[in-house]
Amino acid sequence: MKITAKEIASLVGGEVLGNPDVVITRPGKIEEGGEGIITFLANPKYEPYLYQTTASAVLVSRDFEPRQPIQATLIRVPNVQEAVALLLERFGTIDEHPKGIASSAEIHATARIGQDVAISDFVVIDKEAEIGTGCILYPYVYIGAGVRIGSNTILYPGVKVYRQCAIGNNCIIHANAVIGADGFGFAPQADGSWKKVPQTGKVVIEDDVEIGANTVIDRATMGQTIIRQGAKIDNLVQIAHNVEVGAHTVIAAQAGIAGSAKLGPHCQIGGQAGFVGHIKVAEGTRVQAQSGVAKAVTQPNQALQGSPAFGYMEYNKAYAVFRKLPQLYRKIHELEKQLKEVLKTQKSQ
């Protein structure tokens, strides 16, 4: 693909500073550069690379003022991240998606398949499943009995969707994710063994959700495990039975959410964060990486850190003291010695 800086500026609502006719062929990293590359500057830490890059064009914020001469053409935009997302979509590989229905796919006679779908090799679609218009199923996808998938949803290789689960429109589920595996339900027995509790519910994923590779979302014991509209879930996340993830909540890799926890809308969950079961987490809660949320969060828009998690600023203050504990201990020990000397002197007098 070839496009000029002027055309890119028109696409992203930007303003060109430099050669508007420079030809762009692909995006790349600012520190690597290269002829025909367009890159971006969003993090001030990378500004030194801007003055060295051999990239042909760089997206910068509208108010950015360079402090040194720059070889590349600049494209000033209102929002760098949004412009990058738009460009990556433009330069994306959507044309490389598979087409048509492969002869090796196994589709049950009672399954309903929409128009303009792509079903790749060795896909299995069980009885009474429904695949919406424009869906793309990569090789080795399994769709269980009675599953419903909306329009324009993409399932990458090896995705497994168990029986009766529902996935909305415009969703993306990456390789080897499992939707609807049994929840972790076992009842203790008198002899010390564990008896499996049947998991009779399902998973409901609403529209515009993206789920990362190797993530598992368990079916409900009864009722539904629900991922609300616009939620974005990273790789290697575990979501247990009867959990509800609020609309437009984002969850980073290796986080774990125990059964029946309810996360509100617009939450931001850092990597390796953990949540105990049966709690509610208020709208807009931000949980830092590796934190453990052990009780309900009732006040919206809090930032939490620690295990168990508590207020972000309080955590930072506490951690600052924690790091000084060896020094404080030595100081206290010295003061104790001085106090003993003072008391000894007073006693002798």
Residues known to be catalytic: 241
If you search the block for the tokens 């339900």, which residue do you land on? 185
Contact 138/155 with Cβ under 8 angstroms? yes
Q: What is the C-alpha separation between 263 and 268, in angstroms, rounded?
A: 10
Please report the sign of the dihedral spanned by the C-alpha atoms of residue 114, residue 116, residue 118, residue 122.
Answer: positive
Measured torsion, CA atoms of residues 240, 244, 247, 251, in degrees rounded to the nearest 10: -30
Q: What is the C-alpha separation between 93 and 206, in angstroms, rounded?
A: 25
Q: What is the C-alpha separation between 349 and 332, in angstroms, rounded?
A: 26
Q: What is the C-alpha separation between 160 and 125, in angstroms, rounded?
A: 10
Non-local (6+) Cβ contacts of 86 within 8 A are 11, 12
Pairing of strands 23-24, 3-4: antiparallel
